């Protein structure tokens, strides 16, 4: 929501009028000098939208503010030319409305365009979040990263490395939405005040590492050749892509990282296909390259990769993980009911590479139970289990 600066206004005053933490307003307006506002300048207020209201007989601004539960002065801030002495019946004004509802609907076939539209809406309402593309997919789609917070503890979450595990994306997007609601409304999540987490941490999220693969599973193959013919051939001629894990080159992105890659390749398929083919070398695929480059430049304190299924959390790699990883994973297990497991006979994964190269905590979290892709009727249960992990990842 936009307000317009008047003589004597300050960002601190706006935080008091709208009951929004000052830093969130400052972070929502990185393009202005918050210490030196200019009359008429636009300032973004996070966590609000404006709605149209038509003046009724007997209305006054005080009555309107009372009915809509907003300060009278907020009406002047969003209507800079409003004259309270010249209200006319039928006149339309803007009224601020605090956002207290979710924008994200996770209980649907959550393909790439739905995620992009949701991200646009979230950025519009919560401009203190930052989004950018970390790279492009085989088919040229941007891979978005979301960043929240300015703290020194740099945490990373990602989802949908594997295409048929796409339910991880709406789970993550729902958490982003709930975190934003909690911050702007200053309401705790499970009794936890989230604003200190925002101040202490910088949270990086890539909600959908493999957009091409996710859309392939949900919508079927693109009409564009030669991609369409290739993936159908690699899928043994079938148009049922529900078992597809790979990207559009038939490469399993979580077998692409230089952490015992050769050993993983030796026991897996040697040609492109729906799953487990790790490519001809590590980091050949644009999506894996984008994730590696993001990680190298970001100096993450820890990373969590969300997959399905099994309700287990893998937290080790060849005993290279630091001792604190066990403390953290035990807390993840406590808040979710998931089972910590140190190792599995699998290599070349993202968290393996992170542990190996940084000697910092890395986790693969397997959500839900059943056969991938997990059905949407598990969504609520999965989200409630995972919510504790999302929060613990910030406070641990």
Give which of 107, 130, 114, 99 is closest to 27, Cα–Cα: 130
Which residues have a catalytic role annotated? 347, 366
Tell how far CA 395 is from the center of its chain: 18
CA dist list (Å): 304 to 125, 336, 365, 372: 27, 14, 7, 20
Sheet of 201-206, strand order? 130-136, 142-148, 201-206, 153-159, 302-308, 362-367, 312-314, 339-341
* 27, 150 contact by CB (below 8 A): yes
Give the sign of the dihedral formed by CA 188, CA 191, CA 197, CA 199. positive
Q: Alpha-carbon distance 267 to 276, whole Å?
A: 9
Q: CA of 111: how far to CAs of 42, 102, 210, 332, in Å?
A: 35, 18, 11, 28
Q: Cα–Cα distance between 43 and 354 in angstroms, integer?
A: 40
Q: Are strands 142-148 and 130-136 parallel, antiparallel or unpaired?
A: antiparallel
Q: How far apart are CA 167 and CA 343, in angstroms?
A: 24
Specify the pairing of strand 142-148 against strand 362-367.
Answer: unpaired
User: Distances from the Cα of 240 to the Cαs of 235, 243, 263, 358, 374, in angstroms?
Assistant: 8, 8, 30, 39, 15
* Under 8 Å between Cβ of 184 and 135: no
Place of tokens 């979290």: 365
d(CA 240, CA 174): 28
């Amino acid at each position: 929501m936009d307000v317009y600066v008047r003589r004597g206004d300050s960002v601190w005053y706006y935080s008091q009028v709208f009951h929004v933490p000052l830093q969130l307003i400052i972070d929502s307006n990185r393009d202005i000098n918050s210490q030196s506002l200019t009359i008429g300048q636009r300032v973004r207020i996070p966590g609000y939208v404006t709605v149209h209201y038509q003046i009724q007989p007997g209305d006054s601004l005080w009555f309107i503010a009372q009915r809509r539960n907003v300060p009278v002065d907020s009406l002047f801030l969003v209507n800079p030319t409003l004259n309270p002495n010249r209200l006319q019946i039928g006149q339309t004004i803007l009224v601020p409305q605090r956002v207290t509802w979710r924008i994200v609907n996770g209980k649907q076939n959550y393909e790439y365009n739905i995620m992009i539209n949701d991200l646009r809406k979230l950025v519009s309402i919560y401009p203190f979040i930052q989004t950018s593309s970390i790279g492009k997919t085989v088919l040229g789609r941007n891979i978005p990263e979301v960043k929240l917070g300015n703290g020194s503890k740099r945490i990373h979450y990602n989802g949908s490395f594997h295409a048929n595990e796409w339910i991880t994306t709406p789970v993550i997007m729902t958490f982003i939405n709930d975190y934003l609601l909690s911050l702007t409304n200053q309401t705790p999540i499970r009794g936890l005040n989230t604003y200190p987490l925002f101040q202490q941490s910088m949270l990086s999220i890539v909600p959908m590492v493999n957009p091409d693969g996710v859309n392939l599973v949900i919508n079927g193959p693109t009409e564009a050749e030669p991609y369409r013919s290739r993936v159908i051939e690699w899928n043994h001629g079938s148009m049922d892509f529900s078992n597809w894990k790979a990207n559009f080159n038939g490469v399993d992105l979580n077998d692409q990282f230089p952490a015992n890659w050769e050993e993983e390749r030796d026991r897996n398929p040697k040609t492109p296909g729906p799953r487990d083919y790790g490519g001809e070398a590590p980091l050949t695929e644009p999506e894996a390259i984008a994730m590696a480059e993001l990680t190298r430049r970001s100096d993450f304190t820890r990373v969590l990769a969300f997959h399905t299924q099994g309700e287990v959390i893998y937290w080790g790699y060849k005993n290279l993980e630091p001792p604190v990883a066990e403390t953290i994973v035990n807390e993840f297990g406590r808040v979710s009911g998931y089972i910590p497991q140190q190792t599995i006979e699998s290599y070349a994964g993202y968290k393996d590479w992170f542990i190996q190269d940084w000697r910092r905590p890395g986790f693969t979290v397997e959500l839900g139970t059943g056969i991938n892709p997990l059905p949407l009727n598990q969504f609520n249960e999965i989200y409630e289990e995972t919510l504790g992990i999302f929060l613990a990842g910030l406070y641990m």
